[in-house]
Amino acid sequence: MGKTMDEQERHKRKAQKQKEKVDANVARAQIEKGVMIVVTGNGKGKSTSGFGTVARCVGHGYKAAVVQFIKGKWDCGERSLLEQHDVPFAVMGTGFTWNTQDRAGDIAAAESVWEQAKKFLADPQYHLVLLDELTYMLGYDYLDKQEVLDAIKNRPENQSVVVTGRGAVRELRELADTVSEVKEEKHAFKAGIKARKGVDW
Ligand code: ATP
Ligand code: MG
């Protein structure tokens, strides 16, 4: 009985200490500005995370824009939903897929979709811009790295950016405020389970 009281007391003290820590951190965070988030790594969940953030943004009545740097499936679920909520999509229609053979064609396609991305990144009406799979464009030198970094760095102060894709280059990670590395522990595909509509796209 006495022991149980002790445990309760200890738990209470621990919780109190934790609360003080969190409160202090909350009090310390005083800067109001848009953030740059990089979600990279080999595990599943990067684009899902980016689109989740777009949903949050739109749910609060803010404007968001999406740029997809990989030739996407036409019936991407997020696109069908978000376009109904006036979220503009710039999609790489031709060119780069996962196993491309046509470098010149890929670069042209990348540059064309990047032109649209630049417009979003310069427009303060967008609270959030998702640059889905942008990492590959820098990894493969399809876009000018400095130009991309500058456009992100010089975006409107209140605009946030989410960059997704595997293998984010060092400069993207350095520029970011938040970097998450999604680690693969297992993936259904490796057990022979097909990618699923409504789950994987
Ligand atoms: P998601 O779009 O599901 O969040 P992702 O953006 O983290 O995935 P990508 O590298 O962009 O991952 O992969 C695109 C597609 O490959 C998606 O259909 C995704 O479900 C699938 N996928 C993601 N990670 C893996 C993995 N480790 N092995 C096999 N397939 C994967
Ligand atoms: Mg992805």
User: What is the tens place of the pLDDT at every residue in 12-30?
Assistant: 999 999 999 888 888 888 8
- Residue 112: count of CB within 10 angstroms of its CB: 14
Alpha-carbon span 46 to 187, nearest angstrom: 14
Residue where the block lists tokens 């196993």: 99
Measure 134 CA to ligand 2 centroid, in angstroms: 10
* φ and ψ at residue 168, rounded to 5 degrees: -55, 130
Question: Which DSSP string corresponds to 56-89?
Answer: HHHHTT-EEEEEE-S---TT-HHHHHHHTTT--E
Cα 31 to ligand 1 centre (Å): 34
Is 108 within the bounds of a domain? yes
Task: Give the residue whose CA is nearest to atom 20 of ligand 1.
Answer: 200
Within-domain flag for 175: yes
Residue to probe by mutation, ligand 1, list 38, 40, 42, 44, most atoms within 8 Å of CB: 44
Higher pLDDT, residue 3 or 50 = 50
Please list every protein residue whose CB sits less than 6 Å from any atom of ligand 1: 42-48, 164, 166, 184, 187, 189, 195, 200-201
Residues above pLDDT 90, as percent of the chain: 75
Residue 19 lies in a domain: no
Query: Would you say residue 116 lies in a domain?
Result: yes
The number of domains in the chain is 1
Amino acid identity at 36: M
Range of the domain at 69: 33-183
Q: Which of 139, 134, 164, 166 minimizes the C-alpha distance to 151?
A: 134
How far apart (Å, rounded) are the C-alpha atoms in residues 167 and 17?
A: 38
Whole-angstrom Cα distance, residue 149 to residue 1? 62
Residue 60 forms part of a structural domain: yes
Mean pLDDT to the nearest integer, 134-141: 94
Q: State yes or no: pLDDT of 50 exceeds 60.
A: yes
**Residue 75 confidence (pLDDT):** 76
In a domain, 18, yes or no: no
User: Is the model's pLDDT at 95 over the cut of 60?
Assistant: no
Region 176-181 average pLDDT? 98
CB 82 within 8 A of CB 75: no
CATH number of the domain that residue 141 is part of = 3.40.50.300
pLDDT for residue 72 is more than 80: no
| pLDDT at residue 28, rounded to an integer | 83
What is the rounded average pLDDT for all residues in the chain? 92
Average pLDDT over residues 43-67: 98
